[in-house]
Amino acid sequence: MFRQACFDEPLIFEMSREGKVGVLIKDDPMSAKTDVRKGGIAEIPSGVLRGKLNLPEVSQIEVVRHFTRLSQMNWGIDLGPYPLGSCTMKYNPRVNEDLAWLDEVQQIHPEQGLDSIQGALELLYRLDRMLSSITGMHKFTLQPAAGAQGELTGCLIMRKYHERKGDRRDEIIVPDSAHGTNPASAAMAGFKVVEVRTGEDGCIDLELLKGAVTNRTVGLMMTNPNTLGIFEKRVCEIAEVVHDAGGLMYYDGANLQGIIGRARPGDLGFDIVHLNLHKTFSTPHGGGGPGSGPVGVKEHLKDFLPVPTIIHKDGGYQLDWGKPESIGKIRGGYGSFPILVRAYAYLLSMGSEGLRLSCDIAVLNTNHFAKKVSGIKGFAIPFGGAFRKHEVVVSAEEMTKETGVTALDVAKALLDRGLHSPTIYFPLIVKEALMFEFTETETKESIDAYVEALREISERAYTDPGILRGAPTNASVGRLDEVLANHPRTMCLSYRMLSKRGKMQA
């Protein structure tokens, strides 16, 4: 079982005692001889003096120990699995990190002359070619800073495409199992969202789709494998329906890991693709940035890509700004360069055979887990017995009805067992959903540890459910009030205070 450190760690303000000093150097103007709080040093503006800011007063060793303990309480991929469905939290090889931290990568600037960044431009050009080959696209832009910005880029390209044709279209079709950013991105681009329900087999209901497609249809935003982890086997028919109506097919690349090396979105009928490099191509999750969400298009859409694009001409690499039909720039520079370097290194080290193998192992891991969990009382795999790809959604609805233990309780109970929780209550079409994804970098032992933990949780649910409703009790932070914890005025409060409140409620 995986364990992380667990301390009853106070806030640094609670550790503060008047007069304590972090660093004290003899004869230093900041030493105890001069009382900074009373304005003893004229060079320090009064507005930033300790007395004005009410900063904590702690010794250096207290600061070091405090933040070291906090770091030990943090969870990371170096400690154990992140089974977050559709997020593909795979291990990031250290060689990629080493290359991204080279001075040649870290110290270049987008305003340098092209002659001085030919190596960087060549890397970006080659990455574009690799991603195009993998997905069956014609050309990529590496500008977008994240998958969601890639979605917006794709939606703007679709809008520009129809505007050039003189079509007044304003509707984008989105399946009800889609990622939440899909309808948000469509709305930001000025479109109305038309939802299509999932059929009994877990795939898009083709007949309902036919009824939703009109001469106002801009396109269809689709993930394949879908959010349930099921491959949309009628994707070519779906593409034909949308294309016959004059619409475009948009591929959300969040789940590319489930088919990479085995199928290409371009061959399945998609016109536009966005990729999450932090998922399929083993770069760190941004946590707010930097990230990368490149967008690729078929040849008939290449003129709409953001400027500039990188081209190889006259023996060198140039930036092509000559695209009057372009949607413009999406962000500054040419992309998150260190992130792109990591992805490029990953692709070089894996090769086509390695990528295909990564897909196969991810699918094997998921189906191994799904098979074992489906035999545990209270848990079920919805939408039939189809094999899953890289992820699987487990429903705890039966357990909830019979014991009152919810998917939230299960997730909190996993924390008590030293395991990171999966995504819960998503997709919305599955009641009491627990969304698991074990990437190709996870071991059988890691996966089986989750299976055994779920088996134990099931036994507790049917014998002593009250224990689970108070979980976690073995973590640094207890059960939070989910509404209070997300309130803007409350988010600034310490987790310590929320923890105490949560334990009292439990």
Residues 318 and 421 in one domain: no
Share of the chain above pLDDT 70, in %: 88
- pLDDT tens sequence across 177-199: 888 899 999 999 999 999 999 99
Residues 210 and 291 in one domain: yes
Structure tokens at 467: 């224990």
Residues 274 and 362 in one domain: no
Residues 275 and 369 in one domain: no
Confidence of residue 289 (pLDDT cuts 50, 70, 90): low
In-domain check, residue 84 = no
In-domain check, residue 236 = yes
In-domain check, residue 251 = yes
Confidence of residue 37 (pLDDT cuts 50, 70, 90): very low
* Contact yes or no for 248/242 (Cβ under 8 A): yes
Share of the chain above pLDDT 90, in %: 73
Residues 184 and 324 in one domain: yes
| pLDDT at 329 > cutoff 60 | yes
| pLDDT at 496 > cutoff 60 | no
pLDDT (0 to 100) of residue 504: 39
Q: Is 371 exposed, middle or buried (0-12, 13-18, 19+ CB in 10 A)?
A: middle
pLDDT (0 to 100) of residue 489: 60
Here the CATH number for the domain that contains residue 118 is 3.40.640.10
Confidence of residue 39 (pLDDT cuts 50, 70, 90): very low
Residues 208 and 286 in one domain: yes
* 251 phi and psi angles, rounded to 5 deg: -105, 115
pLDDT (0 to 100) of residue 25: 57
- pLDDT tens sequence across 110-159: 889 999 999 999 999 999 999 999 999 999 999 999 999 999 999 999 99
In-domain check, residue 83 = no
Average pLDDT in the 371-387 region? 93
| pLDDT at 502 > cutoff 60 | no
In-domain check, residue 88 = no
Residues 280 and 365 in one domain: no
pLDDT (0 to 100) of residue 259: 97
Structural domain count, the chain: 3
| pLDDT at 30 > cutoff 60 | no
pLDDT (0 to 100) of residue 388: 96
In-domain check, residue 87 = no
Q: What is the mean pLDDT of the chain?
A: 89
Residues 363 and 335 in one domain: no
Q: Which of 41, 74, 107 is the last residue of a domain?
A: 74
* Contact yes or no for 7/69 (Cβ under 8 A): yes
In-domain check, residue 89 = no
- pLDDT tens sequence across 449-473: 999 999 999 999 999 999 999 999 8
Among 472, 376, 347, 490, CA closest to 416: 472
Residues 245 and 388 in one domain: no
| pLDDT at 495 > cutoff 60 | no
Measured between alpha carbons, how far is 328 from 141 in angstroms, rounded to an integer?
Answer: 12
Confidence of residue 505 (pLDDT cuts 50, 70, 90): very low
In-domain check, residue 80 = no
pLDDT (0 to 100) of residue 40: 46
pLDDT (0 to 100) of residue 89: 84
Confidence of residue 24 (pLDDT cuts 50, 70, 90): low
Residues 6 and 130 in one domain: no
Question: Hey, which bits of 330-483 come out as E strands?
Answer: 392-395, 423-424, 433-436
Confidence of residue 475 (pLDDT cuts 50, 70, 90): confident
Domain residue limits at 25: 1-74
Among 252, 235, 230, CA closest to 382: 230
- pLDDT tens sequence across 425-443: 999 999 999 999 999 999 9
The three-point CA angle 317-322-327 to 5° equals 110
Q: Which of 306, 334, 349 is the last residue of a domain?
A: 349
pLDDT (0 to 100) of residue 6: 78
Structure tokens at 338: 């260190």
Q: Beta strand 295-297 with 272-274: parallel, antiparallel or unpaired?
A: antiparallel
| pLDDT at 254 > cutoff 60 | yes
pTM of the model: 0.87
- pLDDT tens sequence across 156-172: 999 999 999 999 999 99
More confident residue, 478 or 492: 478
Residues 168 and 52 in one domain: no
Average pLDDT in the 79-99 region? 89
Residues 331 and 276 in one domain: yes
| pLDDT at 273 > cutoff 80 | yes
pLDDT (0 to 100) of residue 29: 52
pLDDT (0 to 100) of residue 107: 93
| pLDDT at 503 > cutoff 70 | no
Q: Which of 25, 42, 74 is the last residue of a domain?
A: 74
Measured between alpha carbons, how far is 53 from 76 in angstroms, rounded to an integer?
Answer: 33
* Contact yes or no for 307/328 (Cβ under 8 A): yes
| pLDDT at 315 > cutoff 80 | yes
Average pLDDT in the 213-233 region? 96
Average pLDDT in the 34-63 region? 67
Measured between alpha carbons, how far is 290 from 355 in angstroms, rounded to an integer?
Answer: 24
